Amino acid sequence: MAYLFTSESVSEGHPDKVADQISDALIDNFLAFDRDSKVACETLVTTGQVVLAGEVKSHTYLDVQKIARDTINKIGYTKGEYMFDGNSCGVFSAIHEQSDDINRGVDRASKEQQGAGDQGMMFGYATRETENYMPLALDLSHRILKELATLRKENKDITYLRPDSKSQVTIEYSDDNIPQRIDSIVVSTQHDEFGDDESMLTKIKDDVINIVIPRVIAKLPEQTQALFDSDITYHINPTGKFVIGGPHGDTGLTGRKIIVDTYGGKGAHGGGAFSGKDPSKVDRSAAYATRHIAKNLVAAGVADEVLVQVSYAIGVVEPMGIFIDTYGTCPFNMTDGEIAKKVSQLFDMRPAAIEERLKLRSPMYSETAAYGHMGRENEIVTKTFSQPNGESVTLDVELFTWEKLDYVDKVKEAFGL
């Protein structure tokens, strides 16, 4: 019997994502001037206010207020009528020095012996369902909101959009887990007040279905385009009106969208958020490393679907263990336990080794903080950072290194593929 599966996404203007982006902008600025910075910073955003809190160990000094304001303006909160804008909001910083009790478990005389920044378990996942090895429902949810944001910034075909929005896609699967069709799409987008409630809703529904969705479909591979038919159920701004939004409509906090950030409910999640954490925190670095493993395993043909788990104890160098689940999709005679043993030999999962392999001490994190940390494009960009004293640094930064398929040949050799 066919079944339905749903994933959601939220836009860069969603209050929780505003908080994530501010926290990760701080991470990038600390790392740009001091690669050894240890940072765990949280952000709260609400009507006209930003609160920064957390622990930092770094040799650099930053104008955290300016970084927060620049981030908010870049997202699009630039008007007083939003009741939250980068130029006029209050920014309160309660960032203080990192606890020595935590740091002693991480820093070692030898970098290779760096301990894990915390205990916990992390998961990585990959599937052949899409070209970027991501679950289809989440991939489509992200694509809808990216297109909506592009249209908002173009301010041409649709001129009333505000930054806050959410999407949700439900897919019908066959018994053998193959996507059959798109069952329903939900889009809620913040908007200007431009008429009576009924005319606004009619216009927004028409524009989402006839402008946004076709632009999304046009960028998809043919096999995914075929899943869109005339029987899709659309719920567009189902409350009827969405003028009040962003941090004025709902308080935002760092780390509240961990499923949006990862796999949309597919696979599993260890519970740890990513944004605001430097890579010594394995919640972040090991989650990236397990995605890298899972993606390379699937691309190499070890399985059509893979879940990878790794776990750590705070201050301990070696992981507690590696777990693999191929969901019965491994095409050759090897158990998941045997696969896990080979994976542990191929991939060094010590925290320092992960940082080195994935270049995680680079200021690459602002780009991760909206539209998902996984399934993104690996590319090199040039970024410039400035300090209050006028010093600036320009760096070439490689983004989304965990999405590289650089271990496929090694995996094939190890598994005799």
pLDDT band at 117 (very low <50, low <70, confident <90, very high): confident
Burial class (CB within 10 angstroms; exposed 0-12, middle 13-18, buried 19+) of 104: exposed
Give the tokens for residue 269: 């999640």
**Tell me: the pLDDT tens digits for 249-281?**
999 999 999 999 999 999 999 999 999 999 999
pLDDT band at 92 (very low <50, low <70, confident <90, very high): very high
* Strands of 274-373, DSSP E: 305-312, 321-325
Is the pLDDT at 101 greater than 90, yes or no? no
Give the pLDDT confidence score for residue 312 in this predicted structure.
95
Q: Which residues are annotated as a binding site?
A: 14, 16, 42, 55, 98, 164-166, 241-242, 250, 256-257, 273, 277, 281
Q: What whole-number distance in Å separates Cα of residue 304 and Cα of residue 404?
A: 18
50 has which bridge partners? 45, 91
Give the pLDDT confidence score for residue 174 in this predicted structure.
96
Instruction: Name the CA dihedral angle for 84, 85, 87, 89, rounded to a multiple of 10 degrees.
Output: 20
**Tell me: the pLDDT tens digits for 356-414?**
999 999 999 999 999 999 999 999 999 999 999 989 999 999 999 999 999 999 999 99
Asked if 89 and 21 count as a contact pair (C-beta separation under 8 A), the reply is no
DSSP 173-186: E-TTS-EEEEEEEE
Give the tokens for residue 77: 């909160």
Give the pLDDT confidence score for residue 315 in this predicted structure.
87
Is the pLDDT at 106 greater than 70, yes or no? no
What average pLDDT does this structure show over 84-104?
84
DSSP conformational letter for 279: T
Q: What is the CA radius of gyration of the chain?
A: 22
CB count in 10 Å sphere of residue 269: 18
Q: Which residues are annotated as a binding site for L-methionine?
A: 55, 98, 250, 281
Q: What ranges in 34-109 are assigned the alpha helix state H?
A: 64-75, 100-103
**Tell me: the pLDDT tens digits for 47-81?**
999 999 999 999 999 999 999 999 999 999 999 99
H or E segment and range at residue 5: strand 3-10
Give the pLDDT confidence score for residue 118 in this predicted structure.
81
**Tell me: the pLDDT tens digits for 118-149?**
889 999 999 999 999 999 999 999 999 999 99
* Strands of 34-89, DSSP E: 38-46, 49-57
Q: Which residues are annotated as a binding site for K(+)?
A: 42
Q: Which residues are annotated as a binding site for Mg(2+)?
A: 16
**Tell me: the pLDDT tens digits for 157-216?**
999 999 999 999 999 999 999 999 999 999 999 999 998 999 999 999 999 999 999 999
CB count in 10 Å sphere of residue 60: 15
Question: What would be the CATH architecture of the domain defined by 120-127+257-415?
Answer: 2-Layer Sandwich (3.30)
The dotted CATH code for 3-7+136-243 is: 3.30.300.10
pTM of the model: 0.95
**Tell me: the pLDDT tens digits for 6-47?**
999 999 999 999 999 999 999 999 999 999 999 999 999 999
What average pLDDT does this structure show over 236-245?
96
Q: Which residues are annotated as a binding site for ATP?
A: 14, 164-166, 241-242, 250, 256-257, 273, 277
pLDDT band at 107 (very low <50, low <70, confident <90, very high): low
Is the pLDDT at 115 greater than 90, yes or no? no
Question: What would you measure as the largest C-alpha separation in the chain, in angstroms?
Answer: 67
Under CATH, what is the fold of the domain 16-109? GMP Synthetase; Chain A, domain 3 (3.30.300)
State the span(s) of the chain assigned CATH 3.30.300.10.
3-7+136-243, 16-109, 120-127+257-415
